[in-house]
Amino acid sequence: MLSLIWDSVAFQHNMTLIIVAFISGILSPMLVSWLNYKIKNNSKENESEKKEDEMTKFIKHNVKIDERLSIKRRE
């Protein structure tokens, strides 16, 4: 009895429609939402890395200036 249902063309057609509806209705929006979240987080991380790099350069530059000033004071 169950094998007759599984072999039925109408059942296979209905299952195909259900699977397509599931993919297009649930999985696709979830995938788009996840990708959107990942893209936003990556851009925020890149911005914070750039700011840290600028701060590191600024600090290194200031350390060099302080060293030169201390040398000049000693002279």
Q: Is the pTM of this model over 0.75?
A: no
CB 45 within 8 A of CB 39: no
Structure tokens at 12: 């296979």
Band of pLDDT at residue 2, cut at 50, 70 and 90: low
Spatial distance between the Cα atoms of 73 and 65, rounded to a whole number of angstroms:
12
Provide the residue range defining the domain that includes 38.
2-74
pLDDT, tens digit, for every residue of 4-62?
676 788 888 888 899 989 888 888 889 999 898 888 887 766 666 666 677 788 888 88
Domain tally, the chain: 1
Spatial distance between the Cα atoms of 56 and 53, rounded to a whole number of angstroms:
5
